[in-house]
């Protein structure tokens, strides 16, 4: 496994960048499926919220995963993602990051409850796309269970904080009495439901719900005793409002400065106070709207500046939450170790056997030359026995120590180190490196005068493609055929490994 998480959040990038790469719910399944069609990408999940956009990949190697993630974000941005604005976590660091996010330790509002639901939907979308298999399923199930536990067993969720809590506080700083105020909610989803609870408790005088689908708006409005207005009539509702909360999914702003100004003028409220809280990413409200007289606009970045009065109390639970997250990381790594150690040992010995087999062929070839064409009776068996004995003795110590550490806290590190040192992921058993001689041919197009100077496997490939002469060059078409033969063998070995 090479697990990576790459993304950006409110901590590293402004909203203007986050809204460029935000992935609408309707396109997430397709995005995940396209990612997993790439060579070397085994699993993928996407978390796209108002505060962060993160891509989690389980890839054949971390380089393959990191390259795929960078390419994904570069395509959405139209330029290479900057290291200042995008973070990249690998392996254990990536696992730790997932657990910190689900616990809301990395949230804009410490202890906010929405992230747990967002992570759950991220997992469900990956399952729907069939891009979440054994490893990421285990990771997400542990993460979601951890998210529930920290909220029920610690004080991290005290005061039921969320982005909607902060949004309501922002509006309350400008509205003394909601019972005499007209409120418009642009949206009818989960975030709209959260803000509506505060408005009902505050006895808002008039609540209007606007959604792209009038039937959806009517169903939601009925649950809170509000009125529903068609999306195309939203500006008339906005012009008459004292407060607007917007949280709709949209690539482009749904509230434009000029149209809002005309609507306010038409109903004689050009100078009336209006508070707009924009929770959308991408932004729902055009940035220039706060230039209109009487309009106060809060977007995601403005909300971040509002003091969260309950943070100090919730911060007391951080140490306990971090301890629980560390335990979850250890549980996941132990599971991974149990999953990896036996196949790793098997692959180490398999690779050793292949080396013995390959080197025996060379040794027998040289012995035949030295003996006039035939090996002495029993010589091949003796060579094979010595070769196998040497490999077993060399590998016995490392394998025994690897098994010994299987149940230690650092077990996963040892297994990953073994896989790296023995090249099990880069060159798994059965993969042949392109020999130096072939690499030279690829680079220069030149062959040595005497083909006997090449390894048997290279000479055989040349002969198989119809080349047996001793000239100074070889056609480019033939070079490509030879190269493809070697690369195809490497891919087949990788496919075999992926089916373990």
Catalytic residue list: 50
**C-beta separation of 203 from 178 below 8 A:** yes
Looking at the DSSP bridge assignments, the partners of residue 48 are 53
Q: Which two tokens stand for residue 158?
A: 């005290």
Of the chain, the end-to-end C-alpha distance in Å amounts to 12
**What are the structure tokens assigned to 342, written together?**
């036996």
Burial letters 135-153, b for 16+ CB under 10 A, else e: bbeebbebbbebbeebbee
Residue with tokens 């007209």: 182
Mark 225-245 as b/e (b = at least 16 C-beta within 10 Å).
Answer: ebebbeeeebbebbbbbbbbb
What's the CA gap between 70 and 87, in Å, rounded? 10
The per-residue DSSP string of 134-194 comes to HHHHHHHHHHHHHHHHHHHHSSTTGGG--HHHHHHHHHHTT-S-GGG-EEEEE--SHHHHH
* Token pair listed for 263: 């609507």
Distances in whole angstroms, Cα of residue 77 to Cα of each of 80, 81, 164, 266: 7, 7, 28, 39
Beta bridge partners of 227: 208
- In contact, 293 and 146? CB cutoff 8 Å: no
């Amino acid at each position: 496994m090479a697990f990576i998480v790459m993304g950006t959040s409110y901590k590293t990038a402004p909203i203007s960048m986050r809204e460029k790469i935000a992935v609408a719910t309707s396109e997430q399944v397709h995005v995940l499926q396209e990612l997993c069609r790439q060579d070397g990408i085994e699993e993928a999940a996407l978390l796209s919220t108002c505060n962060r956009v993160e891509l989690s990949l389980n890839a054949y190697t971390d380089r393959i995963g990191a390259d795929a993630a960078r390419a994904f974000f570069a395509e959405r941005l139209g330029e290479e993602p900057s290291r200042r604005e995008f973070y990249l976590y690998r392996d254990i660091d990536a696992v730790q990051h997932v657990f910190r996010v689900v616990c809301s330790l990395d949230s804009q509002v410490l202890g906010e409850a929405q992230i747990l639901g967002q992570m759950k939907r991220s997992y469900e979308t990956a399952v729907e796309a069939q891009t979440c298999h054994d490893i990421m399923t285990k990771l997400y199930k542990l993460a979601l269970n951890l998210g529930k536990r920290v909220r029920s067993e610690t004080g991290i969720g005290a005061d039921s904080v969320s982005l909607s809590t902060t949004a309501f506080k922002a509006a309350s700083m400008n509205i003394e009495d909601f019972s005499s105020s007209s409120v418009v909610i642009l949206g009818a989803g989960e975030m709209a439901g959260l803000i509506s609870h505060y408005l009902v408790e505050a006895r808002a005088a008039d609540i209007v719900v606007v959604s792209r689908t009038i039937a959806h708006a009517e169903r939601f409005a009925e649950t809170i005793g509000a009125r529903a207005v068609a999306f195309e009539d939203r500006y008339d509702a906005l012009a008459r409002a004292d407060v607007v909360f917007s949280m709709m999914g949209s690539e482009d702003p749904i509230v434009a400065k000029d149209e809002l100004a005309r609507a306010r003028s038409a109903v004689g409220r050009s100078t009336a106070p209006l508070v707009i809280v924009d929770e959308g990413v991408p932004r729902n409200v055009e940035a220039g709207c706060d230039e209109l007289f009487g309009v106060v606009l809060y977007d995601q970045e403005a909300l971040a500046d509002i003091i969260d009065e309950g943070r100090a109390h919730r911060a007391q639970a951080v140490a306990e939450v971090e301890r629980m997250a560390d335990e979850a990381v250890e549980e996941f790594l132990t599971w991974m170790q149990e999953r990896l150690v036996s196949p790793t040992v098997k692959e180490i010995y398999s690779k050793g056997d292949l080396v013995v087999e390959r080197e025996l062929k060379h040794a027998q070839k040289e012995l035949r030359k030295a003996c006039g064409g035939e090996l002495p009776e029993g010589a091949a068996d003796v060579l094979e026995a010595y070769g196998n004995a040497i490999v077993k003795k060399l590998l016995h110590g490392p394998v025994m120590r690897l098994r010994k550490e299987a149940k230690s806290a650092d077990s996963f590190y040892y297994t990953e180190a073994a896989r790296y040192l023995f090249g099990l992921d880069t060159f798994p058993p059965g993969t042949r490196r392109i020999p130096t001689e072939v690499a030279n041919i690829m680079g220069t197009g030149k062959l040595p005068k005497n083909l006997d100077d090449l390894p048997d496997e290279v000479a055989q490939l040349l002969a198989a493609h119809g080349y047996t002469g001793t000239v100074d060059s070889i056609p480019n078409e033939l070079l490509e055929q030879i190269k493809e033969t070697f690369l195809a063998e490497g891919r087949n070995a990788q496919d075999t490994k992926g089916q373990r």
